[in-house]
Amino acid sequence: MRLARFFICNMLLLVMLSCSERTRISRELAKFTSRDIVLPACFQEVESGVLSMSKTKEDMPVMIFYSDSLSCSLCQINYLHERKPIYELADSLGTFVVMTILSPGAEEYGDVVDALRGRNQDFPVYLDYDRSFARQNFHIPSDKRFHSFLIGRNGKPIFVGDPLAGDALWNLFCKVVDEMNTEKP
């Protein structure tokens, strides 16, 4: 009898913790999607092995993949090829752009630039070299699930999550993009 009571109490505790975690994430999502994401006027850009300065396109929705200074930027570079489908979708539709933004720490910066130049990928990667993106968007939660998001023309996130993380997220992302494309700018 004690064992059954112990088991039931543990299950209730797990359910309560699960609900409170879900509530916390829902609140964080609501707060995040209510704030504007500010894109700096320019970034350093590496594309096809060339490092240059690039002006931000502010007239289109933007799918952002953000890697903050606490993340391993060199590790992120190894997975850039996995983002190719979303770059291809953006190119074919022409209604949104994709920005992979790396914000490496000072000690990692030179290695990140060298690694990107050596990869010679055919889509741009943006470097938050002066941490202006991070400073202007300090409200982005530290939870990595909030580091991939689509911002609409108004600068607010309209989709949060990595659409390449699974079929359900990809389908939801495509639905959001379709709805976005049917709205008038």
Q: Return the closest-CA partner of residue 132 out of 39, 56, 55.
A: 39
List, for residues 42-66, the tens digit of each pLDDT value: 788 888 777 777 777 767 899 999 9
CATH of the domain at 60: 3.40.30.10
pLDDT at 20 over 70: no
pLDDT at 15 over 60: no
pLDDT attached to residue 9 = 45
Residue 30 lies in a domain: no
Dihedral sign for Cα atoms in the order 39, 42, 48, 49: negative
- DSSP bridge partners of 45: 52, 126
Residue 41 lies in a domain: yes
pLDDT at 8 over 60: no
Q: Return the closest-CA partner of residue 36 out of 133, 180, 151, 159.
A: 151
pLDDT, mean of residues 125-136: 88
**Choice among 45-54, 79-88, 102-111, 158-167 with the minimum mean pLDDT:** 45-54
Query: Mean pLDDT highest for which of 37-41, 45-49, 84-88, 101-105?
Result: 84-88
Residue 111 lies in a domain: yes
pLDDT at 156 over 60: yes
Angstrom distances, CA of residue 67 to CA of 37, 73, 74, 80, 140 = 15, 7, 10, 12, 11
Residue 18 lies in a domain: no
Residue 106 lies in a domain: yes
Residue 11 lies in a domain: no
Distance (Å, whole) CA 26 – CA 2:
36
pLDDT attached to residue 90 = 93
* pTM confidence score: 0.82
Residue 2 lies in a domain: no
pLDDT, mean of residues 116-123: 83
pLDDT attached to residue 98 = 93
Distance (Å, whole) CA 13 – CA 80:
40
Amino acid 139 reads H
Domain count, the chain: 1
Residue 22 lies in a domain: no
Domain that holds residue 134: 35-182
